[in-house]
Amino acid sequence: MELKETIEKRRAYKALIPIEVTDELINDLAKHAQLAPSCFNNQPWRYVFIHGKENLEKFYPALTGGNAWAQKASMIVAVFSKQEFDCIIKDKIYFLFDTGMATAFLILRATDLGLVAHPMAGFNEDIAKEILNIPPDMKLIAIIGIGKHNEDFEDVLEENQIEHERNRPIRMNLNEFIYHNRYEKTS
């Protein structure tokens, strides 16, 4: 798939069907995250790949109610880091930025492989860190549900989820977030 097509194809779908999770898949995703740029090449990102029925089920108590759909994911990736892993330049703290870039690479690679990689903020951080043995001084930034898209999503999703599955949520117009040469306050 061309990069343009991969970016256009990526969607945060909720209706998932199982995939086979292999070490090859995990390493493939990780190797794409690994190539992301980072401040001073600090590579602040850390990932726990949660897979296998028993491990996934152990993690479900960390999901918020609105993310119950993620119980259909064949793998959940926990994205974590801490600010000391990356540049702090005066008041600019880069670990979230760099971990976000690496995670975008991972998500796009999953898309490229025909998979869904759906990022989520809806989890209980304390419970999740306890389950995953992530130390308290780390920030659990996001989790990502991985699977394959269920094209028959209307049979499995709730009414309020179907529109999001059918159509990509509306984006801002370019003129709402880009500026030429100089920022101009618009509203």
Q: Which stretch in 9-17, 35-43, 81-89, 149-157 sits in contact with ligand FMN by CB under 6 A?
A: 9-17
How far is Cα 147 from Cα 84, in angstroms, rounded to an integer? 32
Interaction between residue 26 and ligand FMN (CB under 6 A): no
Distance CA(127)–CA(145), nearest Å, equals 17
Using CB under 6 A, which of 16, 78, 116, 142 touches ligand FMN?
Answer: 142
Among the listed residues 65, 135, 136, 169, the single contact to ligand FMN using CB under 6 A:
169
| DSSP H or E run through 151 | none
Mask 34-73, x = binds ligand FMN (CB under 6 A)?
A: ---------------------------------x------
CA angle at 30 for the pair 24 and 35, rounded to the nearest 5°: 130
Q: Is 120 in the site for ligand FMN (CB under 6 A)?
A: yes
Largest Cα span, the chain: 54
**Helical packing angle, 95-112 and 23-34, nearest 10°:** 130
Q: Is 168 in the site for ligand FMN (CB under 6 A)?
A: yes
**Residue numbers of the site for ligand FMN (CB under 6 A)?**
11-12, 14, 67, 119-122, 142, 168-169
